[in-house]
Amino acid sequence: MTNSPKIICVSSGKGGVGKTSFSVNMACCLARQKQKVLLVDGDLGLANVDVLLGLNVRHTLRETIDEERPLSSILVEIEPGFKVLPASSGVPEMANISYEEQAFLINALENIIDRFDYVLVDSAAGIGDAVLWFNNWADNNIIILSPDPTAMTDAYALIKVLFHRFGKNRFHLLINNVKSKKEGRQVFNNMKNVLKKFLQISPDYLGAMPQDSAVVRAIRSQKPFLEISPDSRASRAVMEISSQILLM
């Protein structure tokens, strides 16, 4: 019987909001709860997943598109149950692949994902083609934003594009870098009110990630904060949020 994994795309609109850090740590967290997880670096031309994990990858998604290298041969195992599909760094052509290449990549992904329970896609920033079609491909869409006007605007704009262009109307909002849970709720409630008023969309609240120096230390160490600071506020928040993802 073919497994049908849950495909979750993590996006934000604005860059630097914490997509990759969240995606890496959430993938790690799910794997430690006995889930088989594939983390796809969806930032095809400016890869970051491998950087946050301290990987030296030899083959990337570029070889799959350019040379039709099987995806299974470029998977990198991080720990039992957690594998990564790495992208390339400094390759502008990969940031603008054609419809044909998009379809080829999606077909190649469809051929390997049945061995996983969860597929997380860490998308690029912005609203470029790859961001949109990875979001369209996914079953669940997580939008990360932080409590500042630019992040909120870009998150709203991304949702609006996905709604109008692809008919997506279910989104899970994660508020990152908050001072308190209360602040997280306030930002979410405001975004929810605007989405309901103008787009008739009612988003789900996935949770809030706190400001935490452990996150910065982990990024500089190129390791998940779940690994080097398992008792930190950020780690506890990720574990709490993972229980919601397991219910998706």
Partner 1 sequence: MQRSCRNGVQTVAIEDEQKRLVGIILFDASLDKKKIKVIATKISRDPDCQPNSLVCPVPEQDLLQRSRESCQVTVEERSQLFAFLNN
Minimum CB distance to partner 1, residue 68 (Å): 7
For partner 1, give the closer residue by CB, 88 or 140: 140
For partner 1, give the closer residue by CB, 106 or 112: 106
Identify the residue whose tokens are 């491998």: 50
Greatest Cα pair distance, the chain, in angstroms, is 50
Q: Please tell me whether residue 160 binds partner 1 under the rule CB under 8 A.
A: yes
Stretch touching partner 1 by CB under 8 A, among 17-25, 188-196, 218-226, 230-238: 188-196
Stretch touching partner 1 by CB under 8 A, among 15-23, 27-35, 189-197, 240-248: 189-197
SS3 per-residue string spanning the chain: CCCCCEEEEEECCCCCCCHHHHHHHHHHHHHCCCCCEEEEEECCCECCHHHHCCCCCCCCHHHHHHHCCCHHHCCEEEECCEEEECCCECCHHHHHCCHHHHHHHHHHHHCCHHHCCEEEEEECCCCCHHHHHHHHHCCEEEEEECCCHHHHHHHHHHHHHHHHHHCCCCCEEEEEEECCHHHHHHHHHHHHHHHHHHHCCCCEEEEEEECCHHHHHHHHHCCCHHHHCCCCHHHHHHHHHHHHHCCC
Q: Please tell me whether residue 36 binds partner 1 under the rule CB under 8 A.
A: no
Q: Please tell me whether residue 188 binds partner 1 under the rule CB under 8 A.
A: no
Stretch touching partner 1 by CB under 8 A, among 15-23, 24-32, 34-42, 160-168: 160-168
**String of contacts with partner 1 for each residue 69-108, x by CB under 8 A:** -----------------------------xxx-xxx-xx-
Report the residue from 15, 59, 186, 239 that binds partner 1 according to the rule CB under 8 A: 186
Q: Please tell me whether residue 136 binds partner 1 under the rule CB under 8 A.
A: yes
Minimum CB distance to partner 1, residue 10 (Å): 17
Residues forming contacts to partner 1 in the complex (CB under 8 A) are 7, 68, 98-100, 102-104, 106-107, 133, 136-139, 147, 149, 152-153, 156-157, 160-161, 164-167, 186, 190-191, 193-194, 197-198
